[in-house]
Amino acid sequence: MAGSGGGSGRAARGRLALLPRLGIRPSTGEVVSLLLDTALTDASIRAAAEGRRTVVLDAGCGRVSALRPFRARIGEIVGLDIHGQPPGSVGHLDRFVVADLCTDAGAFAPGTFDVVLLSFTVEHLADPGRAFANLASWMRPGGALVATTVNRRHPFVAAYLGLPPDVRARLQAVVKERPEDAHPLVGACNTRGQLAAALRGAGWSDVGVASVGHLARAWSRTWPTFALGLAGDAVTRGMPARRSTLIASARRPAEPAR
């Protein structure tokens, strides 16, 4: 639900420009960019010391990726999705793999990646714990994970996830920019506590989970949906545990010195 981008066109951009003035900040993109900047800086230092290039996984990738602004700093970006390659995603990917994060443990060799980004992917996973374990096995020691997902503790998100699938699918068509952006939702790991516990249980360390208000940005396609999202962001602005969007960061533990 919170995974749609900001919409398109001048009207949507004008609506988004209102949010910082109304105190709905920082944006998801701002927080994710800071986390990726740190992760990629660390990864570049390690890669240079080892005489190799950085390799990044965009897991559950879509048409728009937070990795695009960092393209020049990354040696290779690999896209992964259970569906086919999304239209328009070619610009930031070097290659694309069709695989299921939850079941295809052999999709990549151990130690393949330096950084992984999951942008509004966790809510679609049938077994998030297994997916996080697979990702951990594909990461180099010290590799970083950045993930965004929806928060079940937000009342609008909880209501949305509780709807019958056919009703939810019709609503997705209203708030999503394109039909291909709509995918079935599970929401099996979508509170701050559940997300942190699943990451730690899968072997990740330095786990942190922040929250931001994202509904107005996600629903900015039309004025009515933007207004509804803005109300949802405003009512939870002072309640971090209930803001609509979770942003997780974690690291694969470094191998102990011998």
List the domain boundaries for the chain.
9-251
pLDDT of residue 89: 56
* Cβ-based neighbour number of residue 77 at 10 Å: 23
Q: Give the pLDDT score at 21.
A: 87
251: Cβ contacts below 8 Å, ≥ 6 apart? 142, 143, 144, 145, 204, 205, 206
Q: Are 134 and 102 spatial neighbours (Cβ–Cβ below 8 Å)?
A: yes
Instruction: Name the band, by pLDDT with cuts 50, 70 and 90, for residue 187.
Output: confident
As a whole number, mean pLDDT of residues 167-173 equals 76
| Separation between Cα atoms, residue 161 and residue 58, nearest integer Å | 25
pLDDT at position 2 over 50: no
Half-sphere exposure for 104 (CA within 13 Å, toward CB): 13
C-beta of residue 140 within 8 angstroms of C-beta of residue 203: no
A 10 A CB-CB count for 24 gives 22
Strand partners, 248: 147, 209
CA distance 123 to 258: 39
Handedness of CA 140, 144, 148, 151 (dihedral sign): positive
- Check residue 221 and give its pLDDT: 84
For residue 110, cis peptide bond before it (omega within 30 degrees of 0):
no
φ, ψ dihedrals at 135, nearest 5° = -60, -45
- CA distance linking residue 47 with residue 181, whole number of Å: 34
pLDDT at 234: 94
For range 123-151, the mean pLDDT: 97
CA distance 153 to 238: 14
Check if the beta carbon of residue 60 is closer than 8 Å to that of residue 101: yes
Kindly report the average pLDDT of the chain as a whole number.
89
pLDDT confidence band for 179 (50 / 70 / 90): very low
User: Under a CB-based contact definition with an 8 Å cutoff, are residues 93 and 69 in contact?
Assistant: no
Residue 13, pLDDT above cutoff 90: no
Q: For residue 88, name the pLDDT band (cuts at 50, 70, 90).
A: low
- Is residue 106 a contact partner of residue 214, using CB atoms and an 8 Å limit? no
Asked if 248 and 209 count as a contact pair (C-beta separation under 8 A), the reply is: yes
What dotted CATH number matches 9-251?
Answer: 3.40.50.150
Give me the residues paired with residue 205 across strands: 251
Higher pLDDT, 225 or 134: 134
